[in-house]
Amino acid sequence: GQNIDQPTEMTATEGAIVQINCTYQTSGFNGLFWYQQHAGEAPTFLSYNVLDGLEEKGRFSSFLSRSKGYSYLLLKELQMKDSASYLCAVRGGSNDYKLSFGAGTTVTVRA
Amino acid sequence: SAVISQKPSRDICQRGTSLTIQCQVDSQVTMMFWYRQQPGQSLTLIATANQGSEATYESGFVIDKFPISRPNLTFSTLTVSNMSPEDSSIYLCSVGGDRTQYFGPGTRLTVL
């Protein structure tokens, strides 16, 4: 089975940094995705990690440790528009692309 | 990146009826996926739609309730049959590659 855990809510101040953790226990691993989802909209792809280490994309970075079953998404220089739900998703098999999602972390950015 | 469109974007339906949702991709893809997102919840995979073969359903989802068609490499439909209020959700089509997975804009379904 798949078990993916992330915090339910986080609050931070505009301009600050927030780190969203995700731990997973899955049968097979072939990559971890982070998505951003604003209320009423579809998820937007943010990042993909399949090897250990840090991937940086502008204000967003994502880290993966496969041995620990752990990832985090780092959001720097927070802006009000970053208020959204952030979804951690794991791709389990090597030959299928289906994703198992965590429950999502709602990030609220305050002025 | 793939551009995915879905029709309808939203609908309000009566219980006992059926609704077919269309998903169109701007490029040929081997696998298409249908997900459901119930109010306040995360995404749950319904099935994988493969061209030329029957869809593969996840535990808890059956073909009689959610029949899927995949007539070619750019198009798929999901039908929500004999609807009840519990089927009120957002239904999302998705396509994936080696390092990416994209979602369509979703179909917001309300069943009265």
Q: At residue A94, does pLDDT exceed 70?
A: no
Cα B85 to Cα B44: distance, rounded to the nearest angstrom: 18
pLDDT at B52 (0 to 100):
79
Q: State how far residue A41 is from chain B, nearest Cα, in angstroms.
A: 7
- Give the separation between CA A106 and CA A84, rounded to whole angstroms: 6
Residue B18 confidence (pLDDT): 98
Q: Which residues pair with B11 in a beta bridge?
A: B109
The answer to whether the Cβ–Cβ distance between A97 and B101 falls below 8 Å is: yes
Please check whether residue B112 is in contact with residue B13, taking contact to mean a CB–CB distance below 8 angstroms.
yes
Q: How far is A17 from chain B, CA to nearest CA, in Å?
A: 24
Q: Quick one: which H or E segment has residue A86?
A: strand A84-91
Chain A residues touching B23 at Cβ < 8 A? none
Give the pLDDT band of residue A103 (cuts 50, 70, 90).
Answer: very high
Note whether A90 and A1 are within 8 A (CB): no
Q: Give residue A15's pLDDT.
A: 97
Asked if the C-beta of A31 comes within 8 angstroms of chain B's C-beta atoms, the answer is: yes
**Conformational region of residue A34, where left means phi above 0, alpha means psi within -120 to 50, and beta covers everything else:** beta
On the question of pLDDT at A1 being above 70, the answer is: no
Across the interface, of A33, A50, A103, the residue whose CB is closest to B42 is A103
Residue ranges in chain B modelled with pLDDT below 70: none
pLDDT, position B20: 98
pLDDT score recorded for residue B54: 86
How would residue A104 be classed by pLDDT, with cut points 50, 70 and 90?
A: very high
